[in-house]
Amino acid sequence: MKVVRKYWGYAVALVLLYGWFSATLGAGVLVLLSAATFFYALFQAPVWCCAETRGKNFCHNNASGILMGCHLREHRWQKFKMLARKSSWGRLFRRLCSGFHGVATSFSALGAMISAVAAVITLALGR
């Protein structure tokens, strides 16, 4: 049960992918699944912290989501701060793609964002 609680967002992403290719789910359901996958990737997916340590290395503690840091107070909001500064986007992207979980979660977030936009457009057009 712990594994299901930890990785539920990837299962939702697979259902979302199935929904797009099978055309059995409505656009409203696709929007909800996209939003759930996107927020899972940002705030709950298991990844490395990757915050910058004092030695200019990456923190390898476990974190929840690609935008949240680990249990250390200084690391918790560091990625949010990097997102707010345009000059830090390159370093943030390198950190997000530093390991398999980071790459998988980043692509899940990107795919879910694109899926949500496409589903909202489909919903707006009434198809």
Can you give the residue ranges of every domain in the chain?
2-50+65-125
What single DSSP character describes residue 86? G
Residue 19 half-sphere exposure toward CB, CA atoms < 13 A? 21
- Residue 85 structure tokens: 């500064």
Model confidence over 99-116: pLDDT tens digits? 777 788 888 899 999 999
**What is the three-class DSSP state of 48?**
strand
Please give the model's pTM, rounded to 2 decimal places: 0.83
Model confidence over 51-64: pLDDT tens digits? 878 887 888 888 88
What is the pLDDT at residue 50? 78
Phi, psi of 48 (to 5 degrees): -75, 155
Q: How far apart are CA 42 and CA 59, in angstroms?
A: 18
